[in-house]
Amino acid sequence: MKLRVFKFGGASVRDAEGIRNITKIVRNALQQGTRLACVVSATGKTTNALEHILKTWLKAPEAGLRALQELAAHHVQIARDLLKDPAPAIREIESIQERIAQGLAHPSGVLFDALYDQVVSEGERMATALVSAYWQSEALPHSLLDARQLIRTNPTWREGEVLWEPTREALRASGARLWEQNPGQVLLTQGFIGGGPHGESVTLGREGSDYSAALIAAGLEAEDVVIWKDVAGVYNADPKVHPGAVLFSRLSYDDALELACYGATIIHPKTIFPLKSSGIPLLVKSFQYPEAPGTRIDNNRTLALVPALIQKPRQALLQIRTKNGEFLNENHLATIFQCARQSRLKVNALHHTALEINLCVEDDLHHIDEFLKALAMDFSITTRRKLELITLIHPSPTLTENVLGSRKPLLEQSNHRVMRFVAEAVN
């Protein structure tokens, strides 16, 4: 029996209609005799909402709990719209809400990132509770499994490092158990979450459900993975911003990885390695037009990569010099990168001269502050925020001048194939 892994992102399960739609896609695959494992993300913008709830709660607990109440009410409404008998699902949503509130009332001194993982990971659990309740009401055979039992990680909060052997073992054992019971049932689980050494929630990095799907596919030796999105596949630019964007029908793993690393919101960069190393193809398809072919990503070389444009928002530029005016030597650079690694700074581009190194990083205040403090003694750093990182692959003159417009690049980096600019964000 052909095993496929389907990943449904937040946009595909944002409301009752969305959950009904993905159920049609699943039923259709089952009718074709496919065995399925389904990975589901939190609904819509729930993860952003949970991040906001956590940050609000830390400043003003009452306001944080009100925001949590609103999020729970939103999910209760989806249950009411979706289910003839919503009571059990509502109870489940309310117990998750209670668990989040308990997590927030944490003993002082718990690491922010550890608390983040206990709170923000609950979004995926709310989503799978709704999907499972609907599949139960529709007699769609499935087992809802806890992703923390399937994907094992070390406790690197917010960026769990997957322990591959225990993960593969857990996936194989769970898959065998589940399909022994009922060969036609669907394995349903959460994306974005792994289980730490004591079974605690460890998240895999924002947009990490793609990575979850790839790991599950590799562990279960699936035929392929389908990532169901609100666009028709992978384009050479954001089709919501550039109407003339071209859809790729085929991409190699490396091309897809390059686009994802430069910030194309097609798949999480970590998705590629598990699939490339097991030769499992990845399809990016539209959940609105599931019959359309989408983009197939495998180890066939892309014929000729048409010019591609990727714009990565929410960037900051750190201009670093030595305090005493000395030129930047290897020790300085080693210290800078050591501190970047320790503060978990995400460096997306860099430019280095004798007296200065410029780092373009994710504009995540929490990590930038840690980095600035660590270097304050020996380095002076100018920080510019609200920037974007623009990457052009096989740049064409028209694409370049249009995308920059009158903006002067703050950092440029190019070779014969790729040009990269950091500039003020346009909106």
Supply the minimum distance, in Å, between the C-beta of residue 357 and ligand ASP: 30
Judging by DSSP bridges, how do beta strands 3-8 and 224-229 pair with one another? parallel
Q: Is residue 158 a contact partner of residue 41, using CB atoms and an 8 Å limit? A: no
Q: Which is nearer to ligand ASP, 287 or 421 (CB)?
A: 287
- To Mg ion, the closest distance from the beta carbon of 128 in angstroms equals 13
Q: Among candidates 248, 259, 226, which has minimal Cα distance to 306? A: 248
The one segment of 5-13, 73-81, 146-154, 394-402 that binds Mg ion by CB under 5 A: 5-13
DSSP character for 270? G
What is the SS3 string spanning 69-93? HHHHHHHHHHHHHHCCCCHHHHHHH
Element (H, E) at 66: helix 61-82
Q: Which CB atom, from 13 or from 336, has the smaller least distance to ligand ASP?
A: 13
- Indicate the residue among 10 and 103 with the shorter CB distance to ligand ASP: 10
Interface with Mg ion, residue 191, by CB under 5 A? no
Structure tokens at 366: 């929490």
Torsion of CA 75, 76, 80, 82, to 10 degrees: 30
Q: Which of 194, 293, 315, 99 is nearest to 91 (CA)?
A: 99
Nearer residue to Mg ion within complex by CB, 210 or 255? 210
Give the closest residue to 3 by CA, choosing from 121, 175, 154: 175
Residues in region 12-71 near Mg ion by CB under 5 A: 41, 47
Give the nearest distance from C-beta 11 to Mg ion in angstroms.
9
Q: Does 228 bind ligand ASP (CB under 6 A)?
A: no
Q: What whole-number distance in Å separates Cα of residue 264 and Cα of residue 227?
A: 15
Q: Choose the one of Mg ion, ligand ASP, none that binds residue 206, judging by a C-beta under 5 to 8 angstroms depending on kind.
A: ligand ASP
Least distance from ligand ASP to the Cβ atom of residue 342, Å: 24
121 is an interface residue for Mg ion by CB under 5 A: no
Among 208, 219, 263, 395, binds ligand ASP (CB under 6 A): 208
At its nearest, how many Å lie between ligand ASP and the CB of residue 17? 19
d(CA 320, CA 105) in angstroms, rounded, equals 39
Least distance to ligand ASP from the beta carbon of 57, Å?
19
CB-wise, 10 or 233, nearer to Mg ion? 10
DSSP run (H or E) holding 48? helix 46-59
* Distances from the Cα of 132 to the Cα of 122, 126, 141, 269, 333, angstroms: 15, 10, 10, 29, 51
Q: What residues numbered 321-350 form the site for ligand ASP, per CB under 6 A?
A: none
Q: Is 213 in the site for ligand ASP (CB under 6 A)?
A: no
To the nearest whole angstrom, how small is the minimum distance from the Cβ of residue 50 to ligand ASP? 9
In the complex, residue closest to ligand ASP by CB: 209
Between residue 163 and residue 192, which ones bind ligand ASP under the rule CB under 6 A?
191-192
191 interacts with, out of Mg ion, ligand ASP, none, CB within 5 to 8 A per kind = ligand ASP
Q: What is the DSSP string of 134-153?
A: HHHHTT--EEE--HHHHSBB
Phi, psi of 144 (to 5 degrees): -85, 115
Report, in Å, the least distance between residue 287 CB and Mg ion: 14
The residue among 47 and 174 lying less far from ligand ASP, judged by its C-beta, is 47
Report residue 196 CA to chain centroid gap: 19
Q: What residues from 104 to 143 belong to the interface with ligand ASP (CB under 6 A)?
A: 123
Burial of residue 171, with CB atoms counted within 10 A of its CB: 0-12 exposed, 13-18 middle, 19 or more buried: buried
388 binds, among Mg ion, ligand ASP, none (CB under 5 to 8 A by kind): none
User: Binding residue for ligand ASP (CB under 6 A) from 10, 103, 219, 274?
Assistant: 10
Is residue 362 near ligand ASP by the rule CB under 6 A? no
Q: Of residues 4, 7, 8, 10, which one binds Mg ion by CB under 5 A?
A: 10
Cα gap 222→4, rounded to integer Å: 5
Cβ neighbour number for residue 402 with a 10 Å cutoff: 11
* Binding status of residue 41 toward ligand ASP by CB under 6 A: yes
Q: Rounded to the nearest whole angstrom, what is the least distance from the CB of residue 78 to ligand ASP in the complex?
A: 16
Going by the DSSP 8-state scheme, the letter that residue 12 receives in this structure is: G
- According to the binding rule CB under 6 A, does residue 42 interact with ligand ASP? yes
Minimum separation from the CB atom of position 41 to ligand ASP (A): 4
Is residue 208 a contact point for Mg ion (CB under 5 A)? no
CB-CB contact of 54 with 116 (8 Å): yes
State the residues that interact with Mg ion by CB under 5 A. 10, 41, 47
State the residues that interact with ligand ASP by CB under 6 A. 9-10, 41-42, 47, 123, 191-192, 206-209
